[in-house]
Amino acid sequence: MNSDSDASEVASEAEYEDSFVADEVEESVDEPAQTAPPLAPRSAPGPRPDLRPSPPMLRPAADDDDENYSVDFDEPDDAPSSPVQAANSPQRRPPSPTRTIAEDAEYEYSFEDESRQSVSRSLPVVGQASPGRREPSSKAELPVRIGSASASPRRGDIRHTQQLSPAAVAQLEAESDKSLSLLLRKIETKYQDELEELREQNALLTWRERELKTQVRLQREEKKMRKSRLEKKRQRAQERRREHDTLLDKLRQELEAAVARWHDSQARLDARRLELEQLESALAKAECERREVEARNLSIAERLQTTLSDFHALNLKYEDAVNARMAAERHVEELKAQHRMECEVLEHKAHVELEALGRTLEQEREGRVNERRTLPETHRVLLDAERQRLEQLEAQAKQRVQDVEAQLVKETLRFEKELAQARDAKRAAEDRAEQRIKEELGKIAHEREALDEQRRELLVSVTQTSARQDEERARLDVARGQLEVRRLKLVEERAELDSRAAYLEDRMNRLAQEEGVIEARKAELTKLGRETMDKSRLLAQKMHAFNELRAEVERLRNQQREMELKAQETDARTSELLDEKAALEKTARQLQQERLVIAKQRLQSRQLLDGAKKLEQLLQQQQALERMTVGPTTKRSLTPPQQRTTIRERVGEFV
């Protein structure tokens, strides 16, 4: 892994290094030419040196790693082909395989001048004996310019070079080898430093590529999860829509049944007079049950108890069946309002808890996604375990919501049962008191409107001070005075009641037309159905039923506005998802570009490694040639021109 990352960084400066090596070789050839005298071959005959290269030296472990260089890249589907990559790669100056004829002549002539100048300044001619040559201290000090050491002088200078002693020749060769060794060590050290830097750069690029792949995979997974959640929400919305349609049909049937019961109640008013006492006992029982329910919410219970005590005081003051019936109806309606408020409180608590759990779960998921982007691979297992724990918590939260809904249904059924009992008692009382209530029907209608208005104000302002309750008591006193005054006008009120009944029938038709608007309010339709069902079962007259239904329609309109706002938020969220998708595509394109850069650097580093291997082979060949040149100088003079040309060609390939 380290060798691969180091080798991929070599190609970024290949062109510069080629020119630098060429300049160094040319300077090393030109500088000694100004001072060194020409070399003189020995006259003693000798065997022709063997110019075959020596066996290759043992390579270090780093070379083996370079040979095994291979990095598996996951190329994208739209990655460009190899010709495109070759076109995008920087233009390198190809090394010339051989020198031209003019360069060879100039190179050979400069070497002869250097040899002549060095000999003229060195020791005079001595005996034929020459000291042994010193071998290089290490493999890193191999000379580079092989052709300069093995080049033969011109034929015109052979007679002049024969006058030099072997000692002078050996000294010149030692100086030349020393300078070449220094130059070679310098170049080799520089290449080693660059290789280390390129390895570090390649490792960094490889790590960056893996990080980008991880980010792309995480973003794709998050996108799939969001799609699945949206699909589930759509399915739940469709199910709720079907339930709402069913409840709406039931609501229509209940409204028709309520109208029929209202007509029947007109004939049972006389019978209700005889059952007023039973109704009072049923109301007392309902009051006890109401106190038990009010224990769940102390503030609302206190206000409702005060209102019930006021109604009870009114029942005690009125001696006739009309006042008793009005108190009974008020009591039943308050029980219904209390039940509705408790249902609303329970549902609100359930929704608040569900929203809190949803926000907590979303925050936890976002935190885990951020941790996945930043933490290394070793923490993935811990993150998966934490994700499973959060899923279990989510399942528990859903189970808790279901329990709350089941409890709400149970409470609703219980109150329906109690209200059914109260209704039966009320019907028995209405049969006995039907005649007396006929006379008070108009007064009761007006009083019921005032009481309904007060009751709605009480439901809206449950958190206000007790001043509102005092105001409502004052309104009840005024209504009681109005009942006493209007008791003498029963005949006129009867005609007015008939006209109002026709008006209510007209209003019922209008409400039937508004049912299409009610269907659009999906979020609160279940609550409206239950409340309207309870009202239709308990209300004795159609006027009160339609008034409350109208109030609920207004509330549903407000809920429709909220649903429109939520739809706008959903559209905004969709636009955010599109932006995230664009960012994901941009990241993928950046990853593709980085892959192309890495592939280009890998190709360049392979080329540079091939050049380094060739240089190593040339160094090994020069070492073999230097070992062979330890013999008499005449052996070098007898070297065939063809072999010298081959050496110069190899040096030219390196340059």
In tens, the pLDDT along 352-386 reads: 888 888 888 888 778 777 766 765 566 667 767 77
User: Of 152-166, 261-275, 533-547, which one has max mean pLDDT?
Assistant: 261-275
Q: What pLDDT score does 416 carry?
A: 80
Q: What pLDDT score does 73 carry?
A: 40
| d(C-alpha 333, C-alpha 473), whole Å | 17
Q: What is the pLDDT of residues 335-358, one digit of tens each?
A: 878 877 887 888 888 788 888 888
Section 427-442 average pLDDT: 71
Section 256-282 average pLDDT: 77
More confident call, 13 vs 236: 236
Q: CA 490, 492, 498, 500: dihedral to nearest 10 degrees? A: -100
pLDDT category of residue 577 using cuts at 50, 70 and 90: confident
Q: What is the pLDDT of residues 304-330, one digit of tens each?
A: 677 667 666 656 666 666 676 777 778
User: Of 310-319, 407-416, 478-487, which one has max mean pLDDT?
Assistant: 407-416
Q: CA 181, 187, 190, 191: dihedral to nearest 10 degrees? A: -120
Average the pLDDT over each of 241-245, 526-530, 609-613 and give the range with the smallest value. Answer: 526-530
Q: What pLDDT score does 312 carry?
A: 63
Q: What pLDDT score does 188 carry?
A: 83
Helices 166-267/14-30 angle, 10° precision: 170
Q: What pLDDT score does 201 carry?
A: 86
Q: What pLDDT score does 104 carry?
A: 46
Across 355-375, b (16+ Cβ under 10 Å) vs e yields: eebeeeeeebeeebbeebeee
Q: Angle at Cα 526 formed by Cα 521 and Cα 530, nearest 5°?
A: 130
The three-state secondary structure class of 92 is coil
- Closest by Cα among 381, 357, 543 to 447: 543
pLDDT at 55 over 70: no
> Residue 637 is encoded by which pair of tokens?
């003079």
> Residue 614 is encoded by which pair of tokens?
């060739």
Q: What pLDDT score does 303 carry?
A: 67
CB-based contacts of 213: which residues, under 8 Å, 6+ apart?
74, 591
pLDDT at 187 over 80: yes
Q: What pLDDT score does 185 carry?
A: 83
Q: What pLDDT score does 451 carry?
A: 67
Q: What pLDDT score does 522 carry?
A: 67
Section 591-602 average pLDDT: 84
Environment class of residue 606 by beta-carbon count within 10 Å: exposed (0-12), middle (13-18) or buried (19+)? middle
More confident call, 46 vs 211: 211
- Closest by Cα among 35, 31, 11 to 23: 31
Q: Angle at Cα 210 formed by Cα 207 and Cα 215, nearest 5°?
A: 125
Distance of CA 539 to the CA centre of its chain: 55
| d(C-alpha 428, C-alpha 544), whole Å | 21
| d(C-alpha 356, C-alpha 400), whole Å | 13
pLDDT category of residue 229 using cuts at 50, 70 and 90: confident
Query: At 8, which amino acid appears?
Result: S
User: Of 152-166, 466-480, 608-622, 640-654, which one has max mean pLDDT?
Assistant: 608-622
Supply the mean pLDDT for the chain: 68
More confident call, 249 vs 42: 249
- Closest by Cα among 654, 655, 643 to 151: 643
pLDDT at 245 over 70: yes
How far CA 310 is from CA of 301, 322, 336, 637, in Å, comes to 14, 17, 17, 137
| d(C-alpha 366, C-alpha 386), whole Å | 13
pLDDT category of residue 265 using cuts at 50, 70 and 90: confident
More confident call, 239 vs 172: 239
| d(C-alpha 30, C-alpha 32), whole Å | 6
pLDDT at 144 over 80: no
Share of the chain above pLDDT 70, in %: 55
User: Of 313-327, 512-526, 590-604, which one has max mean pLDDT?
Assistant: 590-604
Average the pLDDT over each of 91-95, 237-241, 468-472 and give the range with the smallest value. Answer: 91-95
Tell me which H or E stretch contains 63.
Answer: helix 61-67
pTM of the model: 0.19
Q: What pLDDT score does 146 carry?
A: 38
User: Of 49-63, 391-405, 510-524, which one has max mean pLDDT?
Assistant: 391-405
Q: What pLDDT score does 100 carry?
A: 42
> Residue 328 is encoded by which pair of tokens?
């009974």
> Residue 10 is encoded by which pair of tokens?
């070599």
Average the pLDDT over each of 124-138, 152-166, 217-231, 609-623 and give the range with the smallest value. Answer: 124-138
Section 447-465 average pLDDT: 69
Place of tokens 């499973």: 388
In sequence order, what DSSP letters do the residues of 170-208 get, joined into one string? HHHHHHHHHHHHHHHHHHHHHHHHHHHHHHHHHHHHHHH
pLDDT at 121 over 80: no
Q: What pLDDT score does 637 carry?
A: 46
CB atoms within 10 A of CB 433: 27
| d(C-alpha 328, C-alpha 315), whole Å | 8
- Closest by Cα among 286, 176, 251, 259 to 528: 251
> Residue 97 is encoded by which pair of tokens?
């395989």
User: Of 75-89, 105-119, 169-183, 542-556, which one has max mean pLDDT?
Assistant: 169-183
Environment class of residue 271 by beta-carbon count within 10 Å: exposed (0-12), middle (13-18) or buried (19+)? middle
Q: What pLDDT score does 19 carry?
A: 55
More confident call, 306 vs 92: 306
Q: What pLDDT score does 56 carry?
A: 37
| d(C-alpha 638, C-alpha 152), whole Å | 9
Share of the chain above pLDDT 90, in %: 0
In sequence order, what DSSP letters do the residues of 282-326 get, joined into one string? HHHHHHHHHHHHHTTSHHHHHHHHHHHHHHHHHHHH--SHHHHHH
Query: At 263, which amino acid appears?
Result: H
pLDDT at 198 over 80: yes
Section 122-144 average pLDDT: 39
Q: What pLDDT score does 127 carry?
A: 38
Q: What pLDDT score does 79 carry?
A: 40
Q: What pLDDT score does 308 carry?
A: 66
